Amino acid sequence: MAKVLITARSVAANKEGKAILENAGHEIITHVSDGVKSEAEMIRIIPGMDAVIAGLDEITDKVIEAGVPGLKIIARNGVGYNKVDVEAAARLGIPVTLAPGTNTISVCELVFGLMLSLARVIPGQDAQVRQGSWKRNLGCELYGKVLGVLGTGNIGSEVIKRAHAFGMEIIAFDVWQKPELCQNYNVRYLSLDEVVVKADFLTLHLPVTPDTKCLMNERTLTDMKKNAFIINTARGELVDEKDLYTALKTGTIAGYGADTLTQEPPAPDHPLLTLPNVVLTPHCGAYTEDAVTRCSVTAAQEVVRVLSHQEPKYAVAVKA
């Protein structure tokens, strides 16, 4: 019997994922909290564990070293792994696995929730009605607007399919282009700068790399249309939040909808929280019953494979 540490709240609460582990004869140890676990917390609880299914907790080289020699796999219940030191894990022969495609639809649908919230000022008007006002805010339609998609991977592609049904004109940037999106949904691939300049709605679906960190900054924000909105369900680090605040405050762009920030949760005095043209959700893009079950099952299956001396299906590839 192996010990499987679960720090991801959604997995800890999911019956289907836990059943897979229990049916394989493994013991489940849960350590969940409202926020992500720090390096110090992870170092304290990881010794003696054979596997860990983690959320966005800090899994640094020191955490991984604290888990050896017993630790055999680090499974993420999502597709991001920027909180995991994959190089340290690879050096110690520990695979880091993901759950690709499991939350694609849920995140994609939230993109449209944020777009419509901004376009029709839904949160603001709801608040006004509750306060006794019946004042209307002039919104805009999605139909006929230009949607710029930065990153046409799984989520970006699903956004494109639905944007096409909304009657939007779709332009995109990605290093790896998909001809089928052009053929089926009239997507035009352009340079990154062209997409930023032309978009009425700009949705971010890129990983954080040295090239994309703070991609949306004073220069790129200034290049955008004044009536443009940005949607970010990817990573907060893609945006320079100080430059963004200035752009929103001065009317350089019209609004921002995000499911992620550089610091999560944000400090109570975070400047973006003061702006009426900002709509924020608490990194809940993948937090639907459907996606949670798919993520939990995939993560649990990867753990069972590795603990059964099989190769994982969805391991992060680490450059030599």
Domains and CATH numbers, the chain: 3-100+288-307 (3.40.50.720), 104-280 (3.40.50.720)
**Banded model confidence at residue 35, pLDDT cuts 50, 70, 90:** confident
| For range 236-255, the mean pLDDT | 98
Q: How confident is the model at residue 48 (pLDDT cuts 50, 70, 90)?
A: very high
Better-scored residue on pLDDT, 249 or 55: 249
Q: Is the pLDDT of residue 319 over 80?
A: no
pLDDT-derived band at 77, boundaries 50, 70, 90:
confident
Percent of the chain residues past pLDDT 70, beyond the cut:
100
* CA dist., res. 63 & res. 39, Å (int): 6
Q: With beta carbons less than 8 A apart as the criterion, state whether 275 and 119 touch.
A: no
Burial-class residue 115 by CB neighbours within 10 Å (0-12, 13-18, 19+).
buried
Q: Which residues are catalytic?
A: 235, 264, 283
The residue written with tokens 């022969």 in the block is 93
Which pLDDT belongs to residue 78? 84
Q: Phi/psi zone of residue 305: left (φ > 0), alpha (ψ -120 to 50 degrees), beta?
A: alpha
Q: What is the pLDDT of residue 320?
A: 60
Rounded Cα gap, residues 17 and 4, in angstroms: 12
Q: Do 3 and 26 meet the contact criterion of CB atoms below 8 Å apart?
A: yes
CA dihedral (298, 299, 305, 306) positive or negative: positive
pLDDT higher than threshold 70 for residue 194: yes
pLDDT per position as a tens digit, 109-160: 999 999 999 999 999 999 999 999 999 999 999 999 999 999 999 999 999 9
pLDDT at 38 over 90: yes
pLDDT category at 61 given cuts 50, 70, 90 is very high
Question: Which of 75-79, 224-228, 251-255, 301-305 has the lowest average pLDDT?
Answer: 75-79
> How much is the average pLDDT of 27-33?
93
Sheet containing 229-232: order of strands: 188-189, 169-173, 146-150, 201-204, 229-232, 255-258, 278-280
Residue (of 56, 4, 64, 66) closest to 29 by Cα position: 4
Tell me, rounded to whole angstroms, the distance of Cα 69 from its chain centroid.
31
